[in-house]
Chains A and B, each alone.
Chain A
Amino acid sequence: MGLGYLLASLVGVALVVALCALLFAKGRAWLGAAEAEAYLREILPAFAARLTSVATDGRAALCENAVDGAIHLLVSHGDRLVVRKLSAGLVKAVARSDNALSLALADFTLPRLRLSFADADSAGLWAQKLGALP
């Protein structure tokens, strides 16, 4: 297998990706509270929503499970969602500024997150809950 084969493969990859971009509009999963809760009900066998707050850009949400008190973070990833059950070990830092929360997570596959909520009370409540994670 020569360098020519590898270069031709890379050109092939680039062409297929370009065609994909041309054929399919850029997907983005947008969240509403009902969608976030329905998604968690679908993927978690034991889940009932107690409290859900969706970031104003619709790209992330925090959701508290009434069954076990766990807090789940939902993040938009392309046209799909990624979920993490938050724990004290996973949440490295929470910083609140007015109606926004910045989260630093010990998970290098997740981006650094800034969630802006509709009001400062929501941000305060979640900051309190995240600060008290087991």
Chain B
Amino acid sequence: MSLSNPVALATPIFVLLVIAEMVFARITQRARYETFDTAASLLMGFGSVVAGVLSAAFFLAVFALVQPLRLADLGWSFAVLALCFVLDDFLYYWWHRASHRVRWLWADHVNHHSSQHYNLSTALRQPWTGALTPGILFRLPLVILGFPIPMIAFVHGLNLVYQFWIHTEAIGKLPGPFEAVMNTPSHHRVHHATNPAYLDANYAGVFIVWDRLFGTFVPERKEEKPRYGIVRNIASFNILKIASHEWIALCADLAKAKNMKESAGYLLAPPGWSPDGSRDTTDSLKAQWAAREMSQIRV
């Protein structure tokens, strides 16, 4: 059975929604666009489409290599499709969490977070170098369980389409039951924020329940306005620099590593890790922030 690529089908709608949000932002000032930032985000999206085409054969080859190990043939039915969607989102949660905590994966994923703006164009700021990371490992369990490969690709596309609309400041909090189960603009604003109170939180793709279950859920608070971007923001709208900056920094660190332990640390420890602990990580920033909060409470 063949299925269309949901992302390709949705792209014209994405463009129309970006335009609609721009007009809304201009009228209400409830969102903000910056021309060069928007251009960079859209061109990163375009580049990720090209990169996706170029790396598709690699991903399919890995899937095909693993498929003979499958435990069952689950075939095609609505129930299997629904189960595949939920399990794909579960695996997305773990891939996403690892992408923020393992520098090798972060080198690719950082691109999506590199804008200091948060609007629908940010959703399209997608990385190009997923094939250089071990990220595909997080999708292989679905192949091994016996879901058809086209179905896995289709539900993953649906997952990405869902995540488009949550990249906005134009929508506040939604009704309670929806916020309790689904990933929403409010939850995802927290994820994109660099405020220490919000770091390393809300990794969900579609269902926020994974964060609630695994202890990474942080609600958006009115008194803590999200500040978007990355801990070490970059001062460039050049898409080649955006796509490569963390890879170059990672390679530079690996080149100066004194032994295997240091190499492993640079590659697999959280972003910001260094042998002498001289750099800030999200953990150290959160600890400093907690200490400041405590001292203010005492005063």
Inter-chain contacts of A108 with B (CB < 8 A)? 241, 245, 248
Q: How many residues of A contact B (CB 8 A)?
A: 34
Q: How many residues of B contact A (CB 8 A)?
A: 44
Interface of B is mostly: helix
Residues facing A in B219-243 (CB within 8 A) are 227, 229, 232-237, 241
Least CB distance, A27 to chain B, in whole angstroms: 5
The residue of chain A having its C-beta at the shortest distance from the C-beta of B42 within the complex is A13
Inter-chain contacts of A35 with B (CB < 8 A)? none
Least CB distance, A7 to chain B, in whole angstroms: 11
Q: CB-defined interface of B20-60 with A at 8 Å, one 1/0 digit per residue? A: 00110110000011111111001100100110010000000
A45 touches B292 (CB 8 A): yes
Inter-chain contacts of A120 with B (CB < 8 A)? none
B116 touches A20 (CB 8 A): no
The residue of chain A having its C-beta at the shortest distance from the C-beta of B248 within the complex is A108
Interface of A is mostly: mixed
Least CB distance, A20 to chain B, in whole angstroms: 5
From A1, A43, A82, contact of B235 by CB (8 A):
A82
- Report if B69 contacts A (CB, 8 A): no
Give the residue among B25, B235, B291 with the most A Cβ atoms within 10 A: B235
- Report if B196 contacts A (CB, 8 A): yes
Inter-chain contacts of B117 with A (CB < 8 A)? 80
The residue of chain B having its C-beta at the shortest distance from the C-beta of A83 within the complex is B233
Inter-chain contacts of A79 with B (CB < 8 A)? 32, 34
Which 3 A-B pairs rank lowest in CB-CB distance, beginning with the nearest?
A45-B288, A109-B234, A45-B289
